[in-house]
Structures are given as C-alpha cells and as structure tokens.
Amino acid sequence: MASMKACLLVRPAPVETQPLQYTEVTAHQPDSHQVLVRVRYCGVCRTDLHVVEGELPPKKSPVIPGHQIVGIIEKTGSNATRFLVGSRVGIAWLHKTDGTCPYCRMGAENLCDHPEFTGYTLDGGYAEYVVAQEQFVYAIPEKFLDEQAAPLLCAGIIGFRSLRLSGIKSGGRLGFYGFGAAAHVAIQVARHWGVDVYAATRDARHQRLAMELGAKWAGGTFAEPPVKLDAAIVFAPAGEIVPAALKALRKGGALVLGGIHMSAIPSFDYELLYQERTIKSVANNTRQDGEDFLRVAAEIPIKTRVQLYPLAEANKALNALKNDAIEGAAVLQVSS
Ligand SMILES: [Zn+2]
Ligand SMILES: [Zn+2]
C-alpha cells in the first residue's frame, strides 16, 4: 500500500496544544464508485476547528480533517466514469448520502438521515491523497486558480445557501455578523445581486476588508447598523450575537445562522422576535447548491483572498483562524 503525508487528529484538544500530528499514513484506495484524488490545496474551515477541538463529537478516530479540497484525479473506481484521470476536481463537506431517506427523496439531501462527511466521519484533505464519491465531486471552473477555488467549496457554498435562505432580493439590506472566509465570498455574490451589505464584526481588519469589498457600513459586533435590515446572516459561532442581530431586523425580517456549531443563545425578550421575524439555521448543502454556486462564482467572478500555509503547519493555520488573524480564507498547500 502506498503511504502519504497527512495531518492526523488522534484526540480532539484545544488547537493551542497542536493536536494535529503531521505524519506518514497509508493512503486509501478508491472503491468502485469512488475516485482517488491527489490533493493540491485544502481550505481550512471553522468546522475543522470544531472537529479538532471536539465541539463536534468525534465520529472517526483518528481522523484526517479537511473538506475544501482541490486536486487531480489519480485513479478511478471500476464504476466511476464521470471524470477522467487527470481531471481537476473539488471535494466538499458532503461525502455521501443514503439517497433513500425521506429527506433525500424530498430533495433535501443536506438533511439526510445517514450522511457521511469529508474530514469528519471519514478522512479528508489535510493529506496528500483523499478518496471521494464521484457523484459528490465537483468540476472546478477553469477561471479559478487551485488555491483560490479551495475556499469556494465550503465557505463559498454554505455562504451561498445562507444567502438563499435569507430570502434577500436585489435592492435589499443584508447584515453579516462575522466577516471571515464565508462572508468575504458571500458579500461578492450579494453585491452582484444588487444587495447592500452591512458588516458587524469585532476585528478591525475584517471591518476594513468588508468596506474594501463594497459593504455600505462596517462596525463592531454589537454596534447597531444605521438602517433596519431585511435579513441578516450570523457567520460567527457566538450565540450572544443572535439577540443583537434580531434587534437590527425590520418587521418580517429573516435571521439565518450559518454555522454548524454555536455557543448557547442567551434568552431574549419576545419583542425581538415578534412581528414575524424568523430564525433559521443552515445545515450542510445539497449538490445542487454547490453546482449553482460554482456557476455563479465563475460568472461574477468571485475573487477569494487566501493565506497559504504548508500542510505541515495545519495547527498554525487553525490557531490563526481561531484568533481572527486570517484575512479571507486560510488554505493549506499540499502539492502543486
Ligand atoms: Zn438520505
Ligand atoms: Zn466547512
């Protein structure tokens, strides 16, 4: 069996303790419906931080994190015929669904009862090689460089689904709470749709980035935007933001929570929710979301800002993410 370099999580722990071990492991081989992909770049997502620190309960141990993978197909399974060897592809969070549960049948595969997730329930892209289900792999539009495409695969797709769920329309006013990788992509889609964006985030560099990318206003997390918002998306994993974001909404406004994990939401007066305001979470994405987003991303075209780290420094990248020290998205360079 071929071996490969990978960042292995043996036991979840705070990232300050360097829980990922850069080591040599056996590379997986594709089964009949899978492809083996040589990883070029893998984006670093906040979900990876939740996996590494154990806020998401371990599903596989040890596990290789990473689910924003851009790479080249090295080998195809006997029944995998969608892509040729040598094709550039993207691999995202949703590794597989059962295809048979009530949610899959109603077109909501993001809510599948028996899902598999890349870099969580099975090994992901903080490694030289990864296997994926060919039906869940994306073609990457030619327009994008490998490293710029990586953050599109989760930050981009989830931000896009969040935008859709917010119901925001052209001419609308949309709030972003937190301005990391997902928001820095979503604002470009929102601007393309003719939406005005108001960015509330604690970090001054992130406020500046929001203004550079066309926000109407940027302020602190708990500062009140100058206008009432039609909708808002909370990207930061902090429950205490929810009441503040509700307060910024107009009557009938929608609040979308874009993260997979959030600290407890404090209680708040019913008045903040009354007048038909709604709160909705976002869970995963469908393949359709991914295909639609990548098409729109190429049309615009989206420009991602990336901060590159070598694969061996994944702990460092996660530490920087935890400390708001990434402008745009962190991406691991695996090979090129
Ligand atoms: Zn299902
Ligand atoms: Zn992610």
Q: What is the pLDDT of residues 147-174, one digit of tens each?
A: 999 999 999 999 999 999 999 999 999 9
List, as one string, the DSSP characters of 55-80: SSPPSSSSB-----EEEEEEEE-TT-
Ligand found nearest the CA of 102: 1
Cα(104) to centroid of ligand 1, in Å?
4
Kindly report the pTM of this predicted structure: 0.96
Q: Report pLDDT digits (tens) over 247-257.
A: 999 999 999 99
pLDDT digits (tens, 9 = 90+) for 126-150: 999 999 999 999 999 999 999 999 9
Q: How many CA atoms lie within 13 A of 263 on its CB side?
A: 7
What is the model's pLDDT at position 171? Answer: 98
pLDDT band at 1, cuts 50/70/90? low
* 336 Cα–ligand 2 center, Å: 22
The candidate with the shortest Cα–Cα distance to 35, out of 186, 139, 137, is 137
Report CA(286)–ligand 1 centroid distance (Å).
11
**Mean per-residue pLDDT over the chain, rounded:** 97
Query: 115 CA distance to ligand 2 centroid (A)?
Result: 15
Q: Could you read off the pLDDT of 32-53 as tens digits, one per residue?
A: 999 999 999 999 999 999 999 9
Ligand with the closest atom to the CA of 261: 2
Ligand nearest to the CA of 101: 1
120 sits in the region (left: phi over 0; alpha: psi -120 to 50; else beta) called alpha
d(CA 74, CA 61): 26
Q: What is the pLDDT of residue 2?
A: 87
End-to-end CA distance of the chain: 23
Q: How far is the CA of 15 from the centre of ligand 2 (A)?
A: 17
* 251 contacts: CB under 8 Å, gap ≥ 6: 275, 276, 277
Question: How many Å lie between the centroid of ligand 1 and the Cα of residue 135?
Answer: 14
Ligand nearest to the CA of 99: 1
Ligand 2 centroid to Cα of residue 118, in Å, is 10
The sign of the torsion formed by the CA atoms of 327, 328, 334, 336 equals negative
Residues with CB under 5 A from ligand 2 (ion): 45, 47, 154
Distance (Å) from CA 90 to ligand 1 centroid: 22
For ligand 1, the distance from its centroid to the CA atom of residue 48, given in whole angstroms, is 23
For residue 38, how many other CB atoms are within 10 A of its CB?
Answer: 16
Residue 174 CB-half CA count within 13 A: 33
Ligand nearest to the CA of 67: 2
Whole-number Å distance, alpha carbon 271 to ligand 2 midpoint, is: 33
> Which percentage of the chain shows pLDDT scores above 70?
99
Cα 283 to middle of ligand 1, angstroms: 13
Closest of 195, 289, 280 to residue 233, by C-alpha: 280
With 0-12 CB in 10 A as exposed, 13-18 as middle and 19+ as buried, what is 186? buried
For residue 311, report the distance from its CA to the centre of ligand 2, in Å. 17
Which two three-digit tokens encode residue 94? 């949703």
8 Å CB contact between 63 and 106: no
Ligand nearest to the CA of 181: 2
In angstroms, the CA 167 to CA 255 distance is 10
pLDDT in tens, 77-97: 999 999 999 999 999 999 999
Handedness of CA 46, 49, 55, 59 (dihedral sign): positive
Residues ≥6 apart with Cβ < 8 Å to 328: 151, 181, 184, 209, 304, 305, 306, 307
Closest ligand to the CA of 282: 2
Q: How far is the CA of 240 from the centre of ligand 1 (A)?
A: 33
